């Protein structure tokens, strides 16, 4: 016995399909479209644009530290993203940097005079927020991140969306 889809059923089916296509595509999504290779970090940074580095490294101390940078035409660091991430026993896990005592996201834009304009999201920076999700700790440190980072010693801010990393130890 075959069932027919009525007019209302067909419309409902189309709506469900459309919603399924859109799920996970919100502008604040932290799921990368393409898996990153070991050593890669990507993010969108307001006022800066797309950040993609192939030198992401992690260190495994009392917390995880992740660093990735972009080079200028003279091969000097020009922009860097650094994260300090509190370790937890089970993965996956998510850290809210505005609530955690040790976790932090920073974005540094190096100026021609050698100083860095630093933006930070952590528990001590008023008005900042951010999340770091660790999805794997072996064989590399993998995860996603996003946040609103406030300028240290200034009034500016940057928003990081769609951040992802696959940092080798």
pLDDT in tens, 22-71: 333 333 334 445 689 999 999 999 999 999 999 999 999 999 999 999 97
Measured distance CA(102)–CA(99) in Å, rounded: 9
The rounded distance, in Å, linking the Cα atoms of 74 and 137 is 34
Q: Would residue 23 count as lying in a domain?
A: no
Q: Is the pTM higher than 0.75?
A: yes
Q: What is the pLDDT of residues 115-142, one digit of tens each?
A: 899 999 999 999 999 999 999 999 999 9
What pLDDT was estimated at residue 12?
A: 36
Res. 9: pLDDT tops 50: no
Q: How many domains does the chain have?
A: 1
Residue 96 lies in a domain: yes
Q: At which residue do the structure tokens 């001590």 appear?
A: 124
pLDDT score at 112: 80
In a domain, 99, yes or no: yes
Q: Work out the pLDDT band at 14, boundaries 50, 70, 90.
A: very low
Structure tokens at 59: 């260190």
Per residue in 66-103, pLDDT tens?
A: 999 997 777 666 899 999 999 999 999 999 999 999 99
Which range marks the domain in which residue 69 is found? 28-167
- Mean pLDDT to the nearest integer, 8-26: 36
Burial of 55 (0-12, 13-18, 19+ CB in 10 A): middle
Residue 12 resides in a domain: no
- Structural domain contains residue 67: yes
Give yes or no for residue 7 having a pLDDT over 80.
no
Q: Is 13 part of any domain?
A: no
Asked if residue 76 is part of any domain, the answer here is yes
139 part of a folded domain: yes
């Amino acid at each position: 016995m075959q069932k027919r889809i009525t007019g209302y059923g067909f419309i409902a089916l189309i709506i469900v399909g459309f919603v399924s296509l859109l799920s996970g595509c919100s502008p604040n999504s932290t799921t990368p479209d393409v898996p990153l290779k070991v050593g890669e970090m990507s993010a969108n940074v307001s006022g800066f644009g797309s950040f993609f580095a192939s030198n992401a490294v992690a260190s495994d101390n009392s917390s995880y530290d992740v660093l990735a940078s972009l080079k200028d035409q003279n091969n000097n660091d020009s922009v860097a993203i650094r994260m300090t991430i509190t370790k937890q026993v089970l993965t996956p896990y998510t850290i809210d940097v505005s609530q955690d005592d040790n976790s932090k996201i920073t974005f540094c834009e190096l100026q021609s005079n050698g100083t860095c304009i630093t933006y930070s999201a952590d528990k001590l920076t008023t008005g900042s927020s951010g999340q770091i999700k660790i999805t794997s700790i072996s064989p590399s440190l993998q995860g996603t991140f996003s946040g609103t980072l406030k300028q240290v010693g200034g009034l500016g801010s940057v928003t990081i969306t769609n951040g992802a990393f696959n940092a080798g130890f």
